[in-house]
Amino acid sequence: MIEAVDLVKEYRNDSVVTRVLNGLTFSIQEGEFVSIMGPSGSGKSTLMHIMGFLDRPTSGVYKFKGKSIDELSDDELARIRNKEMGFVFQSFNLLPRTTALDNVKLPLIYDNYTPKEEEELARKAIEAVGLSHRLYHFPNQLSGGEQQRVAIARAIVNNPSVIFADEPTGNLDSKSGQQIIEILQKLNNEGRTIILVTHERFTAEMAKRIIQIKDGKIISDEKLKYQRIAVKDGLIK
48-80, pLDDT tens digit by residue? Answer: 999 999 999 999 999 999 999 999 999 999 999
Task: Give residues with Cβ within 8 angstroms of 4, minimum separation 6.
Answer: 24, 25, 26, 27, 51, 60, 61, 62, 63
CA distance 216 to 201: 18
Q: Return the bridge partners of 218, or none.
A: 213
Q: Do the Cβ atoms of 4 and 62 come closer than 8 Å?
A: yes
Q: Bridge-partner residues for 37, per DSSP?
A: 198, 212
What's the pLDDT band for 226 if we cut at 50, 70, 90? confident
- Full-model pTM: 0.92
Task: Decide: 135 and 123 in contact? Cβ < 8 Å.
Answer: yes
Q: Which amino acid does the sequence have at 181? A: I
- Judge whether residue 11 has pLDDT over 80: yes
Closest CA to 195 of 35, 60, 43, 49: 35
